[in-house]
């Protein structure tokens, strides 16, 4: 079975540019999570969706960040405009439910570098 | 914000030895999970332990949970070089279902 698929794997762009990260969750999973990982702050939950509806976006750093889930098989995380401090690895994960009684399945991440 | 804190931050052992990593958390939880992350990859789920459980095993892995001390431990027995990775605990708070991850323990197993 295919796991969580993220694209691109690497993105290098100049500050001010719009960045779009993509995620395809595991089929049948109804919860999707976006995380950001840095050395300084570790793994941070940005937002999570349940049945395509955003449930908790309190981790989204600021208005420059937005996430959508138009259907059960696709989600995007957009940064506009991007800044150097947004450089990090961004992970998408999915699970059968949004509660902590189910394991989360992670993609391999998008390594984002903002110059 | 992080909920769990792993201890130690880094651990280096010889192949064949046991590795013990600890996780402490601040508020009551429903479940606690352990994950592993190899360099450049996403996290992989290892074990889930519920708040009413005290111990769980999976192969060479043994997880304990002490809710009175708000702590958990992950024991890897007979470690192998392939166990080299970062290990994270994650908790879901009693009144908030999303998961919070700790900062992780970096385990190095020398051949």
Residue A51, Ramachandran bin (φ over 0: left; ψ between -120 and 50: alpha; else beta) = left
Flag if A100 and B33 touch (Cβ within 8 Å). yes
Of the candidates B30, B33, B56, the one whose C-alpha atom is nearest the C-alpha of residue B44 is B33
CA distances to A84, A89, B1, B18, B53 from A36, rounded to whole Å, are 14, 6, 12, 31, 30
CA distances to B67, B75, B92 from B61, rounded to whole Å, are 20, 6, 21
Which token pair is A22?
A: 């993509």
Residues of B with CB under 8 A from a CB of A: 2, 29-31, 33, 40-45, 48, 50, 88, 90-92, 96-104
Confidence of residue A67 (pLDDT cuts 50, 70, 90): very high
Count other Cβ atoms within 10 Å, centred on residue A17.
13
* pLDDT tens digits for range B13-45: 999 999 999 999 988 888 999 999 999 999 999
Count other Cβ atoms within 10 Å, centred on residue A2.
7
Of the candidates B38, B48, B47, the one whose C-alpha atom is nearest the C-alpha of residue B109 is B38
Flag if A101 and B31 touch (Cβ within 8 Å). yes
3-state helix, strand, coil in chain B (%, to 5): 5, 60, 35
Which token pair is B41?
A: 């990859």
- Check if the beta carbon of residue B15 is closer than 8 Å to that of residue B108: no
- When the pLDDT of each residue in chain B is averaged and rounded to a whole number, the result is 91
- When the pLDDT of each residue in chain A is averaged and rounded to a whole number, the result is 94
Confidence of residue A100 (pLDDT cuts 50, 70, 90): confident
Optimal mutation site among A53, A88, A100, interface B, most CBs of chain B within 10 A: A100
Q: Looking at residue B94, what is its pLDDT? A: 65
Flag if A93 and B42 touch (Cβ within 8 Å). yes
- B105-110 vs B10-14, strand pairing mode: parallel
| Greater model confidence, A39 or A26 | A26
Is the pLDDT at B72 greater than 50? The verdict is: yes
What mean pLDDT do residues A89-107 have?
A: 90
Flag if A106 and B42 touch (Cβ within 8 Å). yes
Q: Looking at residue B96, what is its pLDDT? A: 63
Q: Looking at residue B1, what is its pLDDT? A: 45
Place of tokens 């390594």: A111
Task: Tell me the Cα Rg of chain B.
Answer: 13
Is the pLDDT at B2 greater than 60? The verdict is: no
Q: Looking at residue B86, what is its pLDDT? A: 96
Per-position DSSP letters for A48-83, written without gaps between them: EEETTEEEE-TT--STTEEEEEEETTEEEEEESS--
């Amino acid at each position: 079975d295919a796991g969580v698929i993220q694209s691109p794997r690497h993105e290098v762009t100049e500050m001010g540019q719009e960045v779009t990260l993509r995620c395809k969750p595991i089929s049948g999973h109804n919860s999707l999570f976006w995380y950001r990982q840095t050395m300084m702050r570790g793994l941070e939950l940005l937002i999570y969706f349940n049945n395509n509806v955003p449930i908790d976006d309190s981790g989204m750093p600021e208005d420059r960040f937005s996430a959508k889930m138009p259907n059960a098989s696709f989600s995007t995380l957009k940064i506009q405009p991007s800044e150097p401090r947004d450089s990090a690895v961004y992970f998408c994960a999915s699970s059968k439910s949004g509660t902590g009684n189910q394991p989360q399945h992670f993609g391999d991440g998008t390594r984002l570098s903002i110059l | 914000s992080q909920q769990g804190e792993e201890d130690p931050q880094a651990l280096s052992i010889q192949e064949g030895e046991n590795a013990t990593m600890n996780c402490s958390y601040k508020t009551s939880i429903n479940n606690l999970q352990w994950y592993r992350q190899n360099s450049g990859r996403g996290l992989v789920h290892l074990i889930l332990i519920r708040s009413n459980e005290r111990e769980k095993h999976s192969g060479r892995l043994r997880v304990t949970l002490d809710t009175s001390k708000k702590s958990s431990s992950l024991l890897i027995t007979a470690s192998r070089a392939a166990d080299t990775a970062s290990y994270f605990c994650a908790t879901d708070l009693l009144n908030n279902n999303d998961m919070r991850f700790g900062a992780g323990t970096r385990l190095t197993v020398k051949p």
